[in-house]
Structure 1
Amino acid sequence: MLPRVGDGPKERLRSLYLTGETTIIACKADPRFCYTLYIPESAWDEPDQELDLLVSVHGTMRLQSLYRDAFSGFGRFNNCMILAPLFPVGVRGDMEAGGYKYMVEGEIRYDEVLLAMVREAGDLIGRSFEKFMVFGFSGGGHFTHRFLYLHPDRLKAVSIGAPGSVTLLDETMDWWPGIRNFSEVFGRGIDFEALKQVKVHMSVGALDTEDWEITFPEDSPKYIPGANSAGKNRNDRLHRLRETMETRGVDVWHDTVPGVAHDARGVFPYVERFFTDVLKGRLPAPGAR
């Protein structure tokens, strides 16, 4: 959005840096983390119009802008703000790349960091997002389904893309493969009634079958009993995750994308269709496609 003739400094700042694809903004609650936004013009020009929020979470490569830009058109035509967080590698000085995927890393609770970003982004434009949507692919898919377990009351819909490891709703295994000690780890249990109210989508490429990166040897720091129990590859593991959610009464829309390997760009159109159907109130029957 370009500044208009006669705009003052505040309006020019808003037009150049806080409309459309924004600059990168540090999280006030913890400046080790940051986020970028897509803010539709309607957020400023039509303040009384309902505005939705979609959080788009990066994978291990941290391609933050890609995850925002993939949904900018969706945001424009559906009056939806896009928030793409950045959870850098090694925020505790140890080059750890997977902390955000499992919600807890030392003193950091990544779910609380994201909730702070959502609150701050709302404050920036004078809105409050009591419920919002979340998408994540690969490492972001890890984050998304575990965030769902923690905060189903804050979510309208989620889309879980090809996570390498999954947390099953299985009370015979400890966190993270299962949820037996969930309340000990997080201080509260899972609200299964709230979970059943969230619209859940899963997507994975039909050719996403490599397992070298997602098989946990017993000497891995992330290995615990059950780490590989959900299946050999991402297709197997996502299928098993869907089964455990459906057993708990959660409706799941599941797309297996033909001709696509482990590539977020291949699933984006299916994810966009799902969220569009959510906002338009026209979801087809859930199930595997």
Structure 2
Amino acid sequence: MMKSKILIYGILVLAIIGIIVFVSIYLQPTEPTLLKIEANPTKGFYWPYYLYIPGRVWTEADGKTYLLVEPNNSPEPSDDQSVHDEWARKRIESIGAEMAEDLGVTVLIPTFPRPKTPEFSAIGIDNETWTYSLVTQALTRDTLLTEIDGLERLDLQLIAMIDDARERLSQKRINIADKVFMMGFSTSGYFTNRFTLLHPERVRAAAAGGTVGWDAVPLKEWNGIKLRYPVGMRDSESLVGKEFDLETFRTIPLYIYAGDQDTNDSVPHVDMYEAEDARLILQNFGESIIGRWQFRKKMYGSVGSKARFVLYPGVGHEMTDEMLSDVKAFFSEQMARSSE
């Protein structure tokens, strides 16, 4: 009897030790920390970024965790950089912190400007001349091509921020995986989707919401129709110096979502699409927002993309609690698969 009790006690002790070891593998205790990293042109980024480290950091069995990147989204253009900085800070202190603590991952939000000047003019699909500012935070075609000091290649600046954050976190014994999670809604949803298409080798999984009107598809053409960026990816090499990597892109899990009552259609707006691109979209993929959504879903499916297209009934252009919960579940699913 005594031997049996000793055996049972030994098994319990080993089980407790096993649980402790398991937790230490998957969770590293830290103090919740919000850092503002100043611009560092030498390292390739001309604007500050915010970095949030949660109280407990989830890790894979190899000791690595994920960095979740959310591009910043300022509601209106402004030449006052403090406006964009404050929107980024508020975002990381609210949704960013919530995502970080619930998932156990670090979060990065840049403070990219959305300047009001200089202003440009272009003829829209209504044949009227419109004045507009660069929608830098959507990674538009004009944004990729701009030569304005500090605004050149924001996609590469974000990569430089990610690399800098990885280096800083490693000094805190937090090892970041080579590929990041990305998420965004509305303007930052466009940035998220387009960045993932341009740099699929950098992204582990992405969730892009509120891009219901249209956004870039992983194709160079469709039924003979040539699709240049940001309709498709035909001219990727001339824009960013490398061909679109479809093989890598199709391996990335994507969660693309919107409300089925969302009428925030970016296609007719000259700051988002040049007239020739807007006409191509409307003439070939329809006037209906939801109809175009279904076209995009079909086009992603045609190349074997791991994209889920989800419409939320009765929801307009807003990110609801249900959407946020589902985005968390999506990333949790990817983390669970990483641990398998």
Shorter-normalised TM-score: what interval? 0.7 to 0.9
TM-fit CA distance, 1:214:
4.1
The answer (yes or no) to whether the contact 1:170–1:244 under 8 Å persists in 2 is no
**Residues 210 and 125 of structure 1: is their aligned pair in 2 closer, same or farther, counting only changes over 3 Å?**
closer
3-state SS of paired residue (1:225): helix
The structural deviation recorded for 1:36 is 1.3
Backbone CA RMSD of aligned residues: 3.2
Instruction: Specify the code of the residue in structure 2 equivalent to 1:159.
Output: A
Deviation at 1:170, TM superposition (A): 3.8
Rounded to whole Å, the distance in 1 between the matches of 2:74 and 2:183 is 14
Once the two structures are TM-superposed, the CA of residue 138 in structure 1 deviates from its matched residue by 0.9
Tell me the distance in 2 between the aligned counterparts of 1:122 and 1:206: 38
List per-residue Cα deviations over 1:135-189 (Å, max 9, x = no partner): 1111111111111111111211011112254123242132222322222222111
- SS of the residue aligned with 2:278? coil
Q: TM-score, normalised by structure 2?
A: 0.67
Contact 1:208 1:260 in 2 (8 A): yes
Which segments of 5 or more consecutive residues in structure 1 lack a partner in the other structure?
1-17, 283-289
Identity across matched positions, percent: 23
Residue aligning to 1:227: 278
Pick aligned residue for 1:86 from 92, 111, 120: 111
| Residue 216 (1) aligns with residue 256 (2) | no
CA offset at residue 269 of structure 1? Answer: 1.9
Distance 1:36 1:202, change over 3 A: same
* 1: CA distance, partners of 2:31 / 2:133: 34
SS in 1 for 2:276: coil
Q: Secondary structure at the match of 2:70?
A: strand
Aligned mates of 2:335, 2:262 — CA distance in 1: 29
Paired residues for 1:2-17 under 5 Å: none
Gaps of 5+ in 2: 1-29, 76-83, 120-131
Q: Distance in 2 between matches of 1:141 and 1:271?
A: 13
Cα offset, 1:55, TM superposition: 0.7
CA distance in 2, matches of 1:119, 1:150: 17
The aligned residue for residue 173 of structure 1 is: 227
Q: 1:245 to 1:105 in 2, by over 3 A?
A: same
Alignment of 1:174-253 (within 5 A): 174-211=228-265, 214-216=267-269, 222-228=273-279, 229=281, 230-232=285-287, 235-253=290-308
Amino acid at match of 2:276: P
Q: 1:158 to 1:100 in 2, by over 3 A?
A: same
Matched residue, 2:144: 104
- How many Å separate the matches in 2 of 1:31 and 1:116? 6
Name the structure 2 match of 1:143. Answer: 191
Counterpart in 2 of 1:270? 326
For residues 325 and 259 of structure 2, the distance between their equivalents in structure 1, rounded to whole angstroms, comes to 12
Determine helix, strand or coil for the equivalent of 1:227.
helix
* Structure in which a larger fraction of residues adopt helix: 2
Rounded Cα–Cα distance in structure 2 between residues aligned with 1:258 and 1:147: 28
Given the alignment, which residue of 155, 159, 164 partners 1:120?
A: 164
* Superposed displacement of residue 275, structure 1: 1.0
Question: Does the 8 Å contact 1:118/1:129 carry over to 2?
Answer: no
Deviation of residue 203 (structure 1)?
0.8
SS in 1 for 2:261: coil
Distance in 1 between the 2:49 and 2:333 partners? Answer: 26
Larger radius of gyration: 2
The answer as to whether partners of 2:46 and 2:157 remain within 8 angstroms in 1 is no
Q: How many Å separate the matches in 2 of 1:256 and 1:180?
A: 28
CA gap 1:238/1:19 in 2 versus in 1, 3 angstroms: farther
Q: Could you tell me whether the CA contact under 8 Å between 1:43 and 1:125 is conserved in 2?
A: no
